[in-house]
Amino acid sequence: MDVGKNIREFQQKLPKNVKLVAVSKTKPNEVVMEAYHAGQKIFGENKVQDLREKYEALPKDIEWHFIGHLQTNKVKYIAPFASLIHAVDSLKLLKVIDKEAAKNSRKIDCLLQFHIAQEETKFGMSLEEAKSLLGSDEFSGLKNVAVCGVMGMATYTNDENQVRKEFTMLHNIFQVLKSDYFSSCNSFTEISMGMSHDYPLAIEAGSTMIRVGSSIFGERVY
Ligand SMILES: *Cc1c(COP(=O)(O)O)cnc(C)c1O
């Protein structure tokens, strides 16, 4: 894998309004640095400890995104530096992020995760759950988190129509929330959707942020 070349190809082909999160999970620091030297500054990890270790070892101008399921008891380890938390799916988690952000005198950007795939998973909210979260007094009281958009994962399938339908659903959710809860908020802008195998469809459906691992770094070996 020529990681630098892959990054440069993405830089050339992505529309200007779509950000690339390079998903470096399981990849060693030297490989992350190949992407960094090609100009990549946004990286994503899905394990708290790996994120923390990479943050400590690597250049400080990297923006670290947490893209996995975050347990409330681990928020404190990433609160000092995480620049975006992609997969927030409960008020409980949002409240802990708010508290830990306050301890660090920060405001942390978050995305709400939605369950758009057919696959059974415990992660991700429905539109109704998000509405009840966003409409609650508890949510209005949170001063150290900024909800900046939505995130989701499509079904892992070759059926392009299905994937397109799910990404379109997430785009619609974004628009409903934007008009009902964030119409006067300039920072509610992000739709994080699309991975190595489906990012072209995600971009067609309005993605502003794709999360790409194996197409940049090669297959992961666990
Ligand atoms: C691993 C992962 C990705 C990247 O997956 P690839 O198929 O390697 O591009 C994107 N999003 C999330 C949430 C992930 O866990």
Would you say 212 and 23 are in contact if contact means Cβ atoms under 8 Å apart? yes
Alpha-helix runs per DSSP H in the chain: 3-13, 29-37, 48-57, 75-78, 91-103, 127-134, 137-140, 160-181, 199-204, 214-217
**Residue whose token pair is 């057919």:** 118
> What pLDDT, on the 0 to 100 scale, is given for residue 119?
85
- Kindly state the tokens that stand for 40: 């990549």
Give residue 212 CA to ligand 1 midpoint distance, Å. 6
> What pLDDT, on the 0 to 100 scale, is given for residue 106?
98
Is the CB of 46 inside a 6 Å radius of any atom of ligand 1?
yes
Q: What atom of ligand 1 comes closest to residue 197's alpha carbon?
A: 7
Is the CB of 25 inside a 6 Å radius of any atom of ligand 1?
yes
- Which residues of the chain register pLDDT less than 70? none
> What pLDDT, on the 0 to 100 scale, is given for residue 122?
73
> What pLDDT, on the 0 to 100 scale, is given for residue 44?
98
> What pLDDT, on the 0 to 100 scale, is given for residue 221?
80
Give residue 217 CA to ligand 1 midpoint distance, Å. 11
Give residue 157 CA to ligand 1 midpoint distance, Å. 15
- 96-124: pLDDT as tens digits: 999 999 999 999 999 999 999 998 877 89
Domain borders along the chain are 3-216
- Kindly state the tokens that stand for 212: 């790409």
Q: What atom of ligand 1 comes closest to residue 211's alpha carbon?
A: 10
Report the residue among 65, 211, 212, 219 best suited for mutation to probe ligand 1: largest number of ligand atoms under 8 A from its CB: 211
Give residue 25 CA to ligand 1 midpoint distance, Å. 9
> What pLDDT, on the 0 to 100 scale, is given for residue 222?
78
> How far, in Å, CA of 197 to CA of 210, rounded?
11
Is the CB of 214 inside a 6 Å radius of any atom of ligand 1?
yes
Give the architecture (CATH level 2) of 3-216: Alpha-Beta Barrel (3.20)
Task: Give the end-to-end CA distance of the chain in Å, rounded to a whole number.
Answer: 17
Reported as half-sphere exposure (CB side, CA atoms, 13 A), residue 87 has a value of: 22
> What pLDDT, on the 0 to 100 scale, is given for residue 149?
98
Give residue 213 CA to ligand 1 midpoint distance, Å. 6
